[in-house]
Structure 1
Amino acid sequence: MNNRLIIIGAVVLAALYVFFSSIYIVNERDQAIVMRFGQITDIRTEPGLYFKVPTDIVDTVQIIENRLLRYDIANMTVQVSGNAFYQVDAFLTYRISDPRLFRERALGQLSVVESRLGTRFDSALRQVYGLREFNAALSEQRPQMMREARDLIRPDMAELGIEVVDVRILRTDLDQEVSATTFERMRAERLAEAALLRARGQEQAQSLRAIADRQAVEIVAAATRDAEIIRGTGDAERNRIFAAAYGQDTEFFEFYRSMESYRKALAGTGTTMVLSPDSEFFRYFGSNGSLPAANTNLATPIQPTAAPITAPNGNEQALDGLGIEDATIPSITLDDGSELSPTVGTDVPEPVETAPAAAPAQ
């Protein structure tokens, strides 16, 4: 009885072994290579349950990836046009498109594929960067560079049954030494540009300041000229009024002038004068304060006439004879596009009109 149970158990175990060794499962993420005595007999790419010759002695199955795989390159040093060196980070995605070639030429091992990928990827990136300047990787040429690198890798990897799907450049950065040199060059360029802008600003400022100084001198000179003209005209008018008033009574005019001379000459200045009492200077000094008799025969009053005020010619230069020529007036264009320019020219102020002199009271 016990021997029968042992035999039955052995048969059941053998049957289970035969059954399970004759089936294999391919899921949606994998694909299978079926080999008989080392020769490929079948390729399974669709998911499902499949059967083969029992045991792994006759038929063997290798499960390989059917998903996109990724290969990365980090801190790769490339040389661009101009003999500058830069650091590049990039990656590519690939998939096993032909399992038969993958098994025959890459021994079915991803390590062999990635070794070939690393060599071809490195060569492709160097070739793509070597034909361009550094700025190309930061411009609209970046997608084109990635497509070119992908197309350079594809033919070689297709021989291994590998399809390169895409290539992406993650980072393009300056090498440490190149970065320092580039920074110093950019700094020097910005300093030179700042110095140029500062010099242009100082030039504009000097020009504007010179024009403003010239305008100030012209305005002051014009105002001084007009003031002297008006002052001279006023003095002339005053003299005419005095002459008209004093011409009516000569005796009174002499008396008035004598009083003025006494007030100015005999002021308390400590000056000693030795004069004869009978001199003409003391003609009215010894009158004991009595005024001379009023003149009843007055002359006919003279009506004073206002002297014309000569206005300066509006077209006349304010600084006559100084040889100041018209200067080119600069203008500064602001960031918003508007132009800033100084005030041009000076207008000579109109003379102040004086009210006509009133006729003296009779």
Structure 2
Amino acid sequence: METLLGLKPYFYYKYIKKGIRGLRFLRIAILLFVGLSSVVNVKEGEYKVVRQFGDVIKIHEDPGLKFKIPLVQEVSSLSKKKRVYDVDQKEITTLDKKRMIIDNYAIWSISNPESMISNARTTANAEARMGEFIFSIVRTELGKMNFSDIISEESSRGELNEKITSRVNEFLSRDNYGIVVDDVRIKRSDLPEANENAVFNQMITDRNKEAQKYLSEGEAEKIRDISEVDREVKEMLSTARANAEKIRAEGEQQAAQIYNDSFSQDQEFYQLYRTLESYKRTIDGETTIILPKDSPYAQLLLGYFE
């Protein structure tokens, strides 16, 4: 007896069994594929965006295993980590009409993936829009400053960076781009090659003028200080001399008073004292004098030797 395929029953059943076994393996493979394709592994530090026919229907933020419909839904990843974006170098004009090349960078991250996808579509578009905001704000802020202040005031650079960062976030929040900027910094501020030497020469000239001004003011201040000190010294010396003369006069007056008080009590002693003082002023060791007998000197000497 033969089957419809012209095979004997033994061979017919053998091929049927192989076909059934193959179908079972195919079914298992399909189930495995469907099962694995429906699992979404959300890792730490990333968002998983689920799209269906191009539309975002779900965003997974928490780590763990999630599920999707195989073949119908597709999944992409967005990083939660901070990113560094180098803003293209641009030329700005300072308050004193100097041209400068400014190079910035920004540290940013995705804060709302749904808004970012809806309004920017891609991270590249978000960075491009952020770069436009940064340049616009940097141009405005540095346009309020002189060239010398920009390159010399390092202490205020941090405050300027904070102001730029805050303004950029205001613009991004206003347009609901779903990203946040943590920091905007000016990496480098250079002059265009065409006017670099001219600007630096002008800066040197300005600094020399300023230095000469300070030197002149310092010299004038020095002269004023010396004059003031001389005047004070003269006043102090004059006051000291006046006080000394006053003290000397008071001393002589007191001495004369003491002499008068003493001599008024003993007229003979006073006469003797005056004679001795006159002798001391008149006669030295080599003087020869002739005295009459009634001279006070002679009387004193004769009285002494007697």
Shorter-normalised TM range? 0.5 to 0.7
- Mapped to 1, the partners of 2:213 and 2:163 lie a distance apart of 43
After superposition, give the CA deviation of every residue in 1:133-169 in whole Å (9 maximum; x if it has no partner). Answer: 2314533321222122122221332312111221111
Question: Could you say which residue in structure 2 is the equivalent of 1:49?
Answer: 65
After superposition, give the CA deviation of every residue in 1:276-327 in whole Å (9 maximum; x if it has no partner). Answer: xxxxxxxxxxxxxxxxxxxxxxxxxxxxxxxxxxxxxxxxxxxxxxxxxxxx
- Mapped to 2, the partners of 1:89 and 1:2 lie a distance apart of 71
- Mapped to 2, the partners of 1:74 and 1:37 lie a distance apart of 36
Structure 1 unaligned runs (5+)? Answer: 202-329, 334-338, 340-362
Matched residue type, 1:174:
L
Question: Could you say which residue in structure 1 is the equivalent of 2:145?
Answer: 132
- Cα 1:17–1:72 change in 2 (3 A) is same
- Mapped to 2, the partners of 1:25 and 1:141 lie a distance apart of 47
Question: Could you say which residue in structure 1 is the equivalent of 2:301?
Answer: none
Are positions 1:15 and 2:28 aligned together?
Answer: no
Question: Could you say which residue in structure 1 is the equivalent of 2:95?
Answer: 81
Matched residue type, 1:154:
N
RMSD value, Cα: 3.8
Matched-pair identity in %: 23
Question: Could you say which residue in structure 1 is the equivalent of 2:233?
Answer: none
Normalization by structure 1: what TM-score?
0.50
- Cα 1:197–1:126 change in 2 (3 A) is closer
Are positions 1:34 and 2:47 aligned together?
Answer: no
- Cα 1:36–1:188 change in 2 (3 A) is closer
- Cα 1:7–1:116 change in 2 (3 A) is same
Matched residue type, 2:85:
Y
Shift of 1:332: 11
After superposition, give the CA deviation of every residue in 1:210-266 in whole Å (9 maximum; x if it has no partner). Answer: xxxxxxxxxxxxxxxxxxxxxxxxxxxxxxxxxxxxxxxxxxxxxxxxxxxxxxxxx
Question: Could you say which residue in structure 2 is the equivalent of 1:61?
Answer: 75
> Which structure 1 residue ranges, 4+ long, deviate > 4 Å from structure 2?
189-198, 330-333
Question: Could you say which residue in structure 2 is the equivalent of 1:188?
Answer: 205
Structure 2 unaligned runs (5+)? Answer: 1-16, 230-306
Shift of 1:195: 12
Are positions 1:162 and 2:175 aligned together?
Answer: no
- Cα 1:188–1:36 change in 2 (3 A) is closer
Normalization by structure 2: what TM-score?
0.59
The alignment partner of 2:28 has SS state of helix
Q: Map of 1:1-362 to 2, 5 A cutoff?
A: 1-53=17-69, 55-56=70-71, 58-107=72-121, 109-134=122-147, 135-136=149-150, 138-158=153-173, 159-189=176-206
- Mapped to 1, the partners of 2:195 and 2:225 lie a distance apart of 39
The alignment partner of 1:164 has SS state of strand
- Mapped to 1, the partners of 2:47 and 2:124 lie a distance apart of 18
Shift of 1:95: 1.1
Shift of 1:72: 0.8
Matched residue type, 2:40:
Y
Matched residue type, 1:75:
Q
